[in-house]
Structure 1
Amino acid sequence: MLRYLTAGESHGRALTALVEGLPAGVPLTEDYINSQLARRQGGYGRGDRMKIEKDRVSITAGVRGGLSTGGPVSLVIENRDWANWSEVMSPGDDARLDERVVTKPRPGHADLGGALKYGHTDIRNILERASARETAARVAAGTAGRALAEQFGIRIFGHVTVIGSIEISEIPGDTEEIFQRAAQSELLCADSATEAKMKQEIDRCRDDGDSLGGIFEIIVTGLPPGLGSHVQYDRRLDGRLAQAVMSIQAIKGVEFGIGFRAGRLTGSQVHDELFYSHSDGFRRNTNRAGGLEGGITNGEPLVLRAVMKPIPTLYKPLRSVDMHTKEPYEASIERSDVCAVPAAVVVGEAVVCFEIARSIAEKFGGDSLAEMKRNYDAYVNYVKRV
């Protein structure tokens, strides 16, 4: 099974991702992963932490000569801010536990629930791990999945459609055009006129000490039919993708295809009709299902959207209660973004990449990329002949 784990704290020494099950022979380099880490740190509306950290990965195991070996891949991203936190965050008994103590939980964060669950009196033990800083490790791990998926002609890309009250006015119909336009945008928005309005909205919120959320869309092309399965709930690819995206900090909803609009339409307006020709095989003229039916890819582009709530750390803090004194206070402030939706797009791409890679590994098996490609080619030829 292809899987990964992450470890590390926001102000700890480093973030670590361990990827297990990547087949041998997959091209993977530090520069390739770093390009995705740089995308995660970009975007209009980011906070001061992005000026401190310039994320760079070190591959410490599982890759030799630019190719995966089949063993676990270890990825380490050092925190440059560690120098300022080494005494407070030290794992040894010399840690300065009396410094930078947090007792005022921030509304919208894991602070209060986490402190109660784990019995901590210093909320720092929760916020350091719950922080979205952890997503840098997920981007590194997801990029390993992207490296595998790309070997099968699969492309994964996301773009922003909504920031606050501003919604994209026109999405180009051609997927390649969406990719190219979004890649040139600070907000990963494919419509430049809408992007300008989004930036104005972000500036207004920054001046008010407030924050903004939004909606982004991820598109996956080149998928063969048959990834995922209908036979058990935890093998349905739509369920696995939804869980992966929902696990990203601040994500509050996920939909596929026309998503929630389907509940307002009739069946004849929702379902994609099937056609067949000897030259093209089975096809659909619409893609309202978003490339998935019954938890299985159907050969159409996979289309997924997610909504991100506004960042809960505000520079005009909301009201809270001190956990120790029970007195009312304004919530604690840690460094924060005004809007992190473009970063969430990159993280969303990463977790989608990994779930797609997992489904490829499950369907086509193999301990090496060459073996998987043989199995893939045989399957694609079979599908064409049906």
Structure 2
Amino acid sequence: MRFLTAGESHGPELNIIVDGIPAGLELLSEDINKDLRRRQGGYGRGGRMKIETDQVIFTGGVRHGKTLGSPISTRVMNNDFKNWEVSMSSHPQDINNPEVKQKIDSKFVSRVRPGHADLAGAIKYSHEDIRNVLERSSARETTSRVVNGAICKKLLSILNITVISYVLRIGSAGIDPNTLSSNYNDLFLKAEASEVRCPDLNISEQMKLAINEARAQGDTLGGSIQVVASGIPVGLGSYIQWDKRLNGRIAGALMSVHTVKSVELGLGKLVSERYGSKVHDQIYIDPNWKGKSLRYKRKSNNAGGIEGGMSNGEPIVFTVATKPIPTLIKPLDSVDIKTKQNTQAHFERSDICVVPAAGVVLEAMMSYVLADVILEKFGGDNIKDLLDNYNDYLNKCYQR
């Protein structure tokens, strides 16, 4: 399967096309809107979230609440476009009209922001106005990813696969992941009750204080997030070719999210500090095996659910580090590409911390990869065929 997105941050709408979803999947707008609401939430978000009330509109591929097997086309309207109709118009504008010229000039950007796509994008695409770069490179684009991810989550749900996330750290306030329960559903419910999506309510308050301090200083904060997929069967991905390895495919998808700077699977970088005997997960025969589950169990999950490029039946666990966003209330030193002078970076209305929202986007990207590899392995033009193929495979695995 594949998905494509289009649209600018302050354009009229975002467009998303998802191709490859089998026919017969029950799909309602609310299945997507609930994740769009989660993306817009979180302590530390900016004023834009008070303007936008993101809701998906199906324009193709769904009829009477079920997918048709054809591409699913959707759109999400940008409420803020009414304030940008002239400066973001797709039609040529009369710059001899003083009012029109003033509106366009007021949105012109030539002072680049360190840490953003501004400078490299302006040079690569030969833009004089950095507005042409930042409108598409903006994290507003992640709205489209959440739409796609929510559709993929719906597909995964019929296979009893779930993808969740929770925040481990914001700035200096963090929780030791080794102290967390392995009951991922419980962690998720606790995280959803927190404004910063952290499963520890005491640490949540510390995170909010850290965000408040950053705001007072005109600064921003990043953090770390754990993303977990449960209910995964053995054998997704492959060791046959490098680009078929599941760990690489998921890691690449997670790294593609705007704010992400590092991705770790299972123990991650800690494996470099330990003996092999303390890293690799020992295997045993489940004494309670009754033929309706995998008889092979592991005493730990340091591998993060993937060995040799394939899922091993344990939960898939990635830890992702995100940078502080590069748009600061107190701008950093930078340059003006129009005047060729040293100056301060441009400030665009933005957030203080996007870590809680980033988790929702990371869920979407992991869900997309998992849905993709499942459809590769089990096929099915319709949901019934997919379920038949999937359940037949599980039964064969259980008898090994």
8 Å CA contact 1:23, 1:366 repeated in 2: yes
Residue 384 of structure 2 is aligned to residue 370 of structure 1: yes
1:303-362 deviation digits (Å, cap 9, x = unpaired)? 011000001100000011110111111110001110000010000001111111111101
Tell whether the 8 Å contact from 1:12 to 1:79 is kept in structure 2 after alignment.
yes
Q: Which residue of 2 aligns with 1:147?
A: 154
Matched, 1:136 2:143: yes
Letter of the 2:391 counterpart: D
Which stretches of structure 1, 4 residues or longer, exceed 6 Å deviation after superposition? none
**Secondary structure of 2:116 counterpart:** coil
Check if 1:355 corresponds to 2:365: no
One-letter identity of the residue aligned with 1:290? G
Instruction: Identify the residue that residue 42 of structure 2 maps to in structure 1.
Output: 43
Q: Is 2:172 the counterpart of 1:165?
A: yes
**Residues 200-240 of structure 1, C-alpha deviations (whole Å, 9 max, x = no match):** 01001101100000000011110000111111111111111
> Any gaps of 5 or more consecutive residues in structure 1?
none
- Higher mean displacement: 105-114 or 279-288: 279-288
Contact 2:31 2:151 (C-alpha < 8 Å) held by counterparts: no
Counterparts of 1:329 and 1:129, CA distance in 2: 24
After superposition, where does 1:21-100 map in structure 2 within 5 Å?
21-94=20-93, 97-100=104-107
Q: Give the superposition deviation at 1:274.
A: 1.5
Note if contact 1:171-1:191 (Cα within 8 Å) is conserved in structure 2. Answer: no
The offset of 1:176, in angstroms, is 2.1
1:331 and 2:345 aligned: yes
TM-score (norm 1): 0.98
For residues 92 and 373 of structure 2, what CA distance do their matches in structure 1 show?
44
Deviations 1:275-329 (A, max 9, x none): 1247251111110000001111000001011000001100000011110111111
Aligned to 1:212: 221
Q: Name the counterpart of 1:186.
A: 195
Post-superposition offset of 1:99: 4.2
User: Within the alignment, does 1:281 sit opposite 2:295 as a pair?
Assistant: yes
Q: Aligned equivalents of 1:193 and 1:354: distance in 2?
A: 33
CA distance in 1, matches of 2:322, 2:119: 21
Q: Aligned pair 1:124/2:124, yes or no?
A: no
Report the Cα distance in structure 1 between the residues aligned to 2:275 and 2:340, rounded to whole angstroms.
Answer: 53
Which one of the candidate residues 118, 123, 128 is aligned to 1:111?
118
Q: CA separation in 2, counterparts of 1:244 and 1:41?
A: 21
Q: Distance in 1 between matches of 2:279 and 2:180?
A: 20
Partners of 2:244 and 2:132 in 1: CA distance = 34
Q: Which amino acid aligns with 1:85?
A: W
Structure 1 residue 177, shift from structure 2 partner: 1.5
Q: Does residue 239 of structure 2 align to residue 230 of structure 1?
A: yes
Q: Which residue pairs with 1:175 in the alignment?
A: 184
Q: Deviations over 1:151-172 (max 9, x none)?
A: 1000110000000011115423
Please tell me whether residue 262 in structure 1 is matched to residue 271 in structure 2: yes
User: Is the 1:149–1:155 contact (alpha carbons within 8 Å) kept by the matching residues of 2?
Assistant: yes
- Between 270-279 and 357-366, the greater mean CA deviation after superposition: 270-279
Q: Distance in 1 between matches of 2:12 and 2:324?
A: 28
Paired residue secondary structure (2:226): strand
- The residue type paired with residue 31 of structure 1 is E
Instruction: Give, in whole Å, the separation in 2 of the partners of 1:320 and 1:179.
Output: 41
Distance in 1, matches of 2:318 and 2:67, equals 29
Structure 2 SS opposite 1:75:
strand
Distance 1:34 1:317 in 2: 34
Residue identity over aligned pairs, in percent, reads 46
After the TM superposition, which of the residue ranges 320-329 and 131-140 deviates more from structure 2?
A: 320-329
For residue 314 of structure 2, the aligned residue among 297, 300, 323 is 300
2:326 to 309, 312, 320: 312
Map of 2:210 onto structure 1? 201
CA distance in 1, matches of 2:187, 2:17: 32
Amino acid at match of 2:384: A
Letter in 1 for 2:205: A
TM-score, with length taken from structure 2: 0.94
- Tell me how far 1:81 sits from its aligned partner: 0.5
1:99 and 1:161 map into 2 onto residues whose CA distance is 40
